[in-house]
Structure formats: C-alpha cells, structure tokens
Copies of this chain bind each other. A is one copy, B any other.
C-alpha cells in the first residue's frame, strides 16, 4: 500500500486524497440568508446525518485550502443560525454545479442556477423548490476545527421540518431510491447516481445472529473456490446444518457456488458439508 502522513502533505493534496477516498458523499445544498435577507445557495459534500433523536445534520463550509477564506454560507449560518439543507437529485445536479461557482457576495445563486425560491415554514431561509427533500434547520452550534487554510467548520443543524416530494414514494408508501434519484459526490469532477446496475441489496436476517465465518469448517474457509462474499453468505446462517457426509470435491464446490449465487444457502451446504 501507499502510506501517507498528513503532516508531510500539502493541504491541497490531502484534500484531494480525502475527496477521492471518503466516498460516495451525500450533498447538502445549503440555503441561507444574511441579516439583510439576501439569499445564498451553495453545495457541500462534507455532510451527513449523525443522530435521529435529536435529528442532527452536519455540514462543513471549510476554510479555503489556498487562502483560508470563509464562504458566505459560513457567515450567514453564524449570523442567522438558520439553514435549509436541500438534497440534490440527478435532474438538478448541473444547475447545482453552477451555484458552486465563486460568485461575489450579494449574488443570488438561486437566480444564477435557475432554481425557484420556496418560502420555508419554520425558518426565513428559502427552500429549493426543485429539490425532492428539504430540511428546515436551526443551527445549534458551529464548531470550528481550526484557523488554518483547509480547516473545517462543523455547522451542527437540528431538523425542524422535513419536506419530501410526493412522487418519491412507491405504492406502499415507502421512499423509492430510484424515484428520489439523488446524486452523491465522488472525487474530482465525479458524481454518482442511482442506477439499476449500481444499487444492490444485502438482506439482514432479523432477530437471528449469523454464525460467522469462523464457525465454518476450515476446509470451507480456506477453499480456493469460494470468495469472501460467498463465505459471508454461508456464514449468515444461524448455525451449521446437519452434515450430509458429502465429499468436498472441486465439482461440489462449483455446484455450491452457483447455489450461493441464487441465494440457496441451505442447499449449497448439502454439496459442501
């Protein structure tokens, strides 16, 4: 592996490494106003949810890596203690990218990026009408992580109201990730969207404890025929089934692999154990 000590790296190189390795990142499209009521809109991907009770979202309008300057979002957050965090769908993302341009203070990024200012119910900052998920928040604390260029500022937000697009729900009333169609941030110029090829499911057995890979017989664990993923699926059962006395030949391992791929775990064991 390549190993790096942050102390030996330029801030810009370290930032590039973090952006290319901590991913995919959700995007907070943060809408604020200054004390005169001028709107500001800017995206941040150093962002996530961190708590459900209280409901807390945190994003970081960091100091610029070059000169340590701060963004309008930071100043507005500090002045007004309010923000609307809008999630970004695929149909909005190129407009969002326009809003990330470094416009001078006072420029309304809603207009620059062609978004509609929707009044909020609990705060003065506007919602992005085109966004499928809008969180109206009060800012309970801004925690500064330093004063150097590249230092983050944790804007700790308590959610007061959540708005979700009606069309993002399936017929059972659950939020459908394809209908919501959010994008995430990757490194450099890259983003990721939700596709049939990209989305996958790992079913979690409810109320049962997986036996674990260490509970599998050694000849299965060290077999050259099975991947870690296949071992994980076998080890997801609560315990080993009764042994069948079968010989673990290469052919039987190959049979077992295709049964595992089909989700037939108990049947797969009959070729292995």
Q: Residue A228 contacts which of B130, B148, B203 (CB distance < 8 angstroms)? A: B130
**Contact of B26 with A22 in the complex, beta carbons under 8 Å:** yes
A258 CB within 8 Å of chain B: no
A49 CB within 8 Å of chain B: yes
A152 CB within 8 Å of chain B: yes
**Contact of B48 with A148 in the complex, beta carbons under 8 Å:** no
Residue of B nearest to A213 (CB): B114
A247 CB within 8 Å of chain B: no
Contact residues in B for A149 (Cβ distance below 8 Å):
53
Q: Residue A198 contacts which of B65, B197, B231 (CB distance < 8 angstroms)? A: B197
Q: How many copies of the shown chain assemble into the complex?
A: 2
**Contact of A169 with B98 in the complex, beta carbons under 8 Å:** no
**How many angstroms from the CA of A18 to the CA of B57 in the assembled complex?**
9
Contact residues in B for A98 (Cβ distance below 8 Å):
210, 212-213, 232, 235-236
Q: What's the least CB distance linking A101 to chain B, in Å? A: 5
**Contact of A113 with B1 in the complex, beta carbons under 8 Å:** no
Top 3 A-B pairs, shortest CB-CB distance = A51-B152, A53-B150, A112-B212
